[in-house]
Chains A and B, each alone.
Chain A
Amino acid sequence: GNSVTQMEGPVTLSEEAFLTINCTYTATGYPSLFWYVQYPGEGLQLLLKATKADDKGSNKGFEATYRKETTSFHLEKGSVQVSDSAVYFCALSGWTDSWGKLQFGAGTQVVVTP
């Protein structure tokens, strides 16, 4: 079956540091890939997505590229802020799944200190 593996946290960074969160997946066919973010006390929010190989999703300074050859979708941001402190989830939607069914990774907590 489909699965998503992402790096364990917490990841602790200083403000303006470079952030990378690794995500790899196992799926048949051509899944769609997502990053969701969960800020403290809030619901999950879609951060970015990519629906086919070599697509780059980007939003709020975050980027991730769909790499089919390495089955990866790593999240990056060049200069983090304290407000980026949150839990980040990598997810996929299998190509035979309905649009509401996502397979999530375990999440990576990111803590950015001033």
Chain B
Amino acid sequence: DAGVTQSPTHLIKTRGQQVTLRCSPKSGHDTVSWYQQALGQGPQFIFQYYEEEERQRGNFPDRFSGHQFPNYSSELNVNALLLGDSALYLCASSLVGVDNEKLFFGSGTQLSVL
């Protein structure tokens, strides 16, 4: 049973560029949440997708956008990258109605913006 998988593992971009990160949820899960974890900090909630719609959003600018596909996988897009966007981006999945507060996290994508 595959857990949450994220790709790529590492990514280097320059300021102003755009980036797309990908996440496949744990088998059977239907909800995906994205988090940003800066070095030495706890994860910060970006947004959550369920039934292909953004359900809740944290305090992140519109440069951060996402998508969920019919197979429940998800993408996180960040436009006009800033140096401050350098962080570990985590994807977490869960299943509505079944201990839905239990999140399963992937190992993350380390994004470096130069």
Contacts and interface: CB of A to CB of B under 8 A. Distances in A.
Contact of A43 (B45, B55, B106): B106
B17 interface: no
Given A42-B107, A106-B41, A107-B41, A101 B102 contact: no
Interface stretch (A61-69, A73-81, A92-100): A92-100
A45 interface: yes
Interface in B57-105: 58, 90, 92, 94, 96, 100-105
B-side interface size class: 20 to 34
A46 B42 contact: no
Interface residues of A, number: 26
B21 interface: no
Nearest to B108: A43
Interface of B: 3-4, 31-33, 40-45, 48, 50, 55-56, 58, 90, 92, 94, 96, 100-108
Interface of A: 4, 32, 34, 36, 41-46, 49, 51, 89, 91, 93, 97-107
Contact of A49 (B3, B31, B101): B101
Contacts of A45: 105
